[in-house]
Structure 1
């Protein structure tokens, strides 16, 4: 292709993207109102990290967003990069990223964690590893959110070592019997299916003895127990599997290849974590602007540091998006983005503590004060969510910098 041809291709692509965005904007205006910037002190002052909904509220909020996601899918904007067999338009990833940016300008139902888990983690994993029947049954339905899915990965005994799971799957009379427990499962109460990593062979090295199953969350033997957090909410759950029987058609990927299947999910999870915490960081900067007094040197330094780190986090997120948009697998940016996100959350908490002082701990009527307890108490949880900080450091040290592997028993 000559340089003239290359330039023309870029021009055609830009023209196509502009037309796509005009179409998308017209549709969004037909279903939602533009987001209005409210003056400081008006509207909600919520800065939660993990929602404190009741089971009924979680179901209600999930259904509200699901209705929007289904309308978006039917209008041709819900599976932009996917092929027509899944209801998509097979457009470059740049179109999907541009639509997401445009969505931020409109007042839409809250997109809870379960939507990216279902659409961006589980659906692509089934598309890659599933049988033809599984792809036909689940992928389109999950992209449209007719079906919702959760991850049944973590276990208390395994810590950060996913390959050390103890939940067993044993073949019996042509079926699989699953027994064990999972923990820190978001959205278990509103999910139709859970993707469970189970040990099917205890006599081989731990990474080789795992198999993944797609488990109906209403199957006999499944119990969901909400976990009370120090914020007061129950965003996470323990899921008990007591001799849960599933057919072999529920197996996702080959027997013993569960580690590779799980890594497909985890890789997508890290890509989606780089923008966490930025809205609350911006709100902390607004808190400083509206403090009603002159800030001292320590406070000004903390605010400036938070602004700088938020900017760096956004730049890394843009690098990840650029890599994906160019069809490349992001390198260390995904792990760096996760580390920056948890650091931004921690710096946000520290800045707010400096700005509010004792007011942070007093449950009064003043707007934008007591609400910050939700962030301060919730932010530390992200140091272990989606791959602990220690795991991300190991990835960067061993796979990027080439340092010696951490000693392992």
Structure 2
């Protein structure tokens, strides 16, 4: 396995200064200047534009990795720099100030969800194949989880995998898969033992998306974008070495991935409307002098700061290799509530200006936020699922009574 170049473990201040110097010299020249009035949650881009954005992000990730900044807090044996999380935080802070490339969810899924899952559950052979590709931008990964009949009840998946020698043959359908049309890998949850209890008969795999039998169909969203996809798997042959965890441990693996997802749910600065954008809107509409508006803005800012503190604490635990617990669910619920508060405040500030686009910047554009915010109530597990996780794993309450198992 090829390791990234090592950056000297200087004291943190010296390291941060060296990172800022490197960013100033090597940062991408083609910055994407974000529209200050863009408050959308899900993008509205055509396929060629989205592919071009990913191309720039791949190139930038490769440049960082080659310089030792692509996987700072990961162990050296997995292609990382082997430094403490505080060093990764310092670089991210410097990068945020120096680089303004457009973000893409597929990079977050790859680096923050799939890569840590492979680290925990992948075979040595699989790790040698996918690392450092998952860190340097050359290999991107999506999640093949939800199905038409298994959304929030993810344990009800019907996609099957049958063992055939040293391989598994996978057939079924996945849906709502972000970035599948651009991904090299897909982390799939499938049923390998139909006779076992619903949660016990599942196994997880890493599936090459260019395998024969994989078909991706884009889904048109009401926002106009096509970031979601249906993925059809027709007798897709996957080597046993691509299995994540033991056969029948798919639910354990998937819970870890979803934990990583919830842990990152509130780590989306600039997505879906920020505190600063709402302050600017309140000023333009003449409402900032209202005590109720200032109180609501203060609540939003307090939620942002609390989310940042919680995120840093959880990142430190995650970088030790431990899967996240219920705290990710709590933060995900808090972030969804924050999105809803943003929508409610924008709606009250703008009134009828949300209904018709009159060409005035920063008015009708908030419509995209209000359309997108409800989607995060189900993304990564619905609000009801999150509350069950908090109740059972954090508060120690009895599990919710199971419904009679349906025929698979």
The residue number in structure 2 matching 1:338 is 332
Q: After TM superposition, give the deviation of residue 398 of structure 1 in Å.
A: 2.0
Per the normalisation by structure 2, the TM-score is 0.89
How far did residue 215 of structure 1 move?
1.1
Structure-1 separation of matches of 2:10 and 2:118 = 33
Deviations 1:183-209 (A, max 9, x none): 111100110111111100000112221
Task: Report the CA distance shift for 1:144/1:18 in structure 2 as closer, same or farther (over 3 A).
Answer: same
In structure 2, the residue matched to 1:368 is 362
Structure 2 CA distance, aligned partners of 1:131 and 1:356? 54
What CA deviation, in whole Å up to 9, does each residue of 1:31-71 have, x standing for no partner?
338999x9xxx954211101111111111111111111110
- Change over 3 Å in CA distance of 1:142–1:201 after alignment to 2: same
Q: Displacement, 1:139?
A: 2.1
Counterpart in the other structure of 2:21 = 26
Q: Is the 8 A contact 1:227 1:235 kept in 2?
A: yes
Is residue 2:93 matched to residue 1:101? yes
Contact 2:157 2:189 in 1 (8 A): yes
Structure 1, residues 302-333: CA drift from partner, whole Å, max 9, x if none? 45224313323421331331244366876543
- Distance in 2, matches of 1:400 and 1:205, equals 25
In structure 2, C-alpha distance between the alignment counterparts of 1:113 and 1:43, rounded to whole Å: 18
CA distance in 2, matches of 1:180, 1:317: 39
SS in 2 for 1:255: coil
- What's the secondary structure of 1:405's corresponding residue? coil
2:73 pairs with one of 81, 86, 99: 81
- What is the aligned partner in structure 2 of residue 138 from structure 1? 130
Asked if residue 17 in structure 1 is aligned to residue 8 in structure 2, the reply is no
The separation in 1 between residues aligned to 2:219 and 2:252, in whole angstroms, is 29
1:321 aligns with 2:312: yes
Candidates 274, 281, 284, aligned match of 1:281: 274
Contact 1:198/1:211 (8 A) holds in 2: yes
Q: Distance in 1 between matches of 2:79 and 2:152?
A: 36
Gapped runs of 5+ residues in structure 1?
1-13
Contact kept? 2:146, 2:157, Cα under 8 Å: yes
Residues 87 and 329 of structure 1: CA distance in aligned 2, closer, same or farther (over 3 Å)? closer
Larger helix fraction of residues:
1
Specify which of 147, 150, 157 is matched with residue 158 of structure 1.
150
- Residue 245 of structure 1 aligns to a residue whose secondary structure is strand
Where in structure 2 are the equivalents of 1:54-133 lying within 5 Å?
54-133=46-125
CA distance in 2, matches of 1:164, 1:140: 33
| 333 and 234 in structure 1: CA distance in 2 versus 1, 3 angstrom threshold | same
Using the TM superposition, name which of 306-315 and 155-164 deviates more.
306-315
SS at the partner of 1:78?
coil
Selected match of 1:301 from 268, 282, 292: 292
Cα distance per residue 1:238-280 (max 9 Å; x no partner): 1111222223233222211111221221121111112346651
Match of 1:220 in 2: 212
- Residue of structure 1 equivalent to 2:249: 257
**2:346 corresponds to 1:357:** no
* Secondary structure in 2 matching 1:70: helix
Structure 1: distance between partners of 2:196 and 2:399? 22
| Cα distance change of structure 1 residues 243 and 15 upon mapping to structure 2, 3 Å threshold | closer
Counterpart of 1:6?
Answer: none
Distance 1:329 1:179, change over 3 A: closer
Deviation per CA, 1:46-102, whole angstroms, max 9, x where unpaired? 111011111111111111111111101111111111222333221111111222122
Count of residue pairs the alignment pairs up: 390
The CA deviation string for residues 97-135 of structure 1, in whole angstroms up to 9 with x for no partner, is 222122221233122111121112111211221222111
Q: 2:375 is matched with which residue?
A: 381
Deviations 1:329-388 (A, max 9, x none): 765432221111111111111111111111112122211112111111011101101221
| Contact 1:124/1:139 (<8 A) preserved | no
1:50 maps to 2:31: no
TM-score (norm 1): 0.88
CA contact (8 A) 1:194 1:214 kept: yes
Indicate conservation of the 8 Å contact 2:123/2:242, yes or no.
Answer: no
> Equivalent residue of 2:23, what SS?
helix
Tell whether 2:195 aligns with 1:203. Answer: yes
Using the alignment, how far apart are the partners of 1:234 and 1:95 within structure 2? 36
Contact 1:87 1:140 in 2 (8 A): yes
Between stretches 378-387 and 100-109, larger displacement belongs to 100-109
